[in-house]
Structure 1
Amino acid sequence: MESDASSPPRVAILDATIGLLREEGYAAVSSRRIATRAGLKSKLVHYYFRNMDELFLAVFKRIEDEHFAQLTQVLAQRKPLRALWRLSMDSTNTAMVLELNALATHRKVLRAEIARASKRLRLLQSAVIERAVAESGGGAAPLPPMILSVLALAVSRLLAMDSVLGVDCGHEETLGWIEALIAHVEDGAPLPA
C-alpha cells in the first residue's frame, strides 16, 4: 500500500467519497460508485484503503483536520464568538457531521473516532468561549462555557436537520436569541429575554 497520503488516486478516492456522502448519504457509498466518480478502477479503492472502515476513517480525519484548521483561525480573532457560531452553523460541515454520525451507528471504529474528536471539539470551543468572556469586558456568560459549547453544537445540528426536512419553525427566533447572547457576552449588550 502506498504511504503517500497525497497521491492523486488516494485524494481522488477521498474526494469522491466525500462528494457521495454529501450528495446522497452514506448508503450510496460503495467502492464501485467511488471508483466511477473518481475515474478510477474499483480495485484502486481497495489498494489505497484495505476496507471501507479505513476509507471512512480517512474521510473523517480529513474533515476533522479541515475543521480544526478553521477553528485555529477563529481562535486568532479578537472577538471569536461570532466566528465560532458561524463555523458551527456552516451547513456543509454540519450535514457531513450528521451523515458521519449516522454511519457511525454501523461502524464501531468510526464511532470511537467521532467520540474522540467531539470531546476535543467541545473542550476547544469551551476554551474559546471562556477566553471570549474573560477578554470581552462585556457581559458575563449566563451559563458555563462547556454548557454553551454543547448547546451551540446541538442547536446548529438541529437547525441543519430541520433545514434538510424543510422545517424552519422557530429558527429565526433562535438565531436572533443567539446573536443577542453573543452581543451580550462580547459587547455588553443587554441579555436576551
Structure 2
Amino acid sequence: MSREAILDAAEAILRDEGYAAVSSRKVAAVAGLKSKLVHYYFKTMDELFLALLRRVEEQHFAELRKATASGEPLRALWHLSTDPTVPKLHKEFVALATHHEQLRQEIARSAQRTRQVYAAAAESALIVAGLSTSMFPPVAIGMMLDGISRVLSTDKILGLDSGHADAIALVETLLNRLSVSRCEETTDAQQQI
C-alpha cells in the first residue's frame, strides 16, 4: 500500500511539476508518509523512477492491447496517441532519461515495442485495404502517426496550432482509407504486446 502511494505521489509530481521537483521528501509529503519510507521501498531515486516508468508502461501496454482489440486498431492507436494526458509524463521521462542510462534503455525498449504494435496494426490494415506493404511500409506509417501525434502534443504545450487541422485531416483520410472493421479477428498487433 505504501509503495503504491509513493508511486502515485511521484507520478503526480512528475506530471504536474516536472522531474526536477521529484525528491524523496516531496514524494513522502504528497503521499502522507515519512521520507524514510520512500528509501525503505526505493533505495535510490533512480529505483523509484524506474519502478514508476515500468508501472506507467504497464498501463500503456494495457491500453495498447485494448486499442488493437478494437474494430479499427490503427484508428484506436491514433486516438490513444493523441490523448492529451499522456505526453507531459512521457516528455518528463525522456528528459529524465538523458541523465539516467537505465531509464533511457527502458524507454528505448518500450518505444521499440510500441513501434512494433503500430507496424503490425498498419500492416493488417494495408493488407485488408489491398495496398502494398512495400510501397507503404507499415513501420513508416506507424512512425508517421506517432510522430504527428508527438508534434501535436508538443505544439499544444507551446501554444502553437499552425498546420494542425491539415495534419489531422491527412491522418483521418489515411485512416478512413485503411479502415478495418473485423473485431473478432486477432491481429498480429495484439500478439506483439
TM-score by length of 1: 0.88
1:177 deviates by 0.9
TM-superposed CA distance for 1:132, in Å, is 2.1
User: In the alignment, which residue of structure 2 is the partner of 1:106?
Assistant: 99
* Residue 155 (structure 1) aligned to one of 138, 145, 148: 148
Q: Indicate the SS of the match to 2:113.
A: helix
**Corresponding position: 1:179 with 2:156:** no
Per-residue deviation, residues 88-110 of structure 1 (Å, max 9, x unmatched) = 11121222111100110011110
- Unpaired runs of 5+ in structure 2? 181-193
Distance 1:122 1:184 in 2: 21
**Gap runs ≥5 in structure 1:** 1-7, 188-193
1:85-164 → structure 2 map (5 Å cutoff): 85-135=78-128, 137=129, 143-164=136-157
**Whose relative contact order is higher, 1 or 2, with alpha carbons under 8 Å and at least 6 apart?**
2
Task: Provide TM-score, normalisation by structure 2.
Answer: 0.88
Amino acid at match of 1:51: T
- 2:78–2:145 CA contact under 8 A, matched in 1: yes
Greater mean deviation of Cα atoms: 137-146 or 99-108: 137-146
Deviation at 1:78, TM superposition (A): 2.1
Answer yes or no: is the 8 Å Cα contact 2:115–2:142 preserved in 1.
Answer: yes
Counterpart of 1:46 (choices 16, 29, 39) is 39
Q: Is this contact kept in 2: 1:13–1:35, CA < 8 A?
A: yes
Helix, strand or coil at the partner of 2:85: helix
The question of whether the paired residues in 2 share the 8 Å contact of 1:125 and 1:149 is answered with yes
* Contact residue 13 and residue 38 of structure 1 kept, 8 A: yes
Report the Cα distance in structure 2 between the residues aligned to 1:23 and 1:171, rounded to whole angstroms: 25
Query: Residue 81 of structure 1 contacts residue 128 of structure 1 at CA under 8 Å; is this kept in 2?
Result: yes
Which residue of the partner structure matches residue 35 of structure 1? 28
2:107 maps to a residue whose letter is I
Fraction of identical pairs, as percent: 47
1:181 to partner: Cα distance? 0.9
CA–CA distance in structure 2, aligned partners of residues 75 and 161 of structure 1: 25
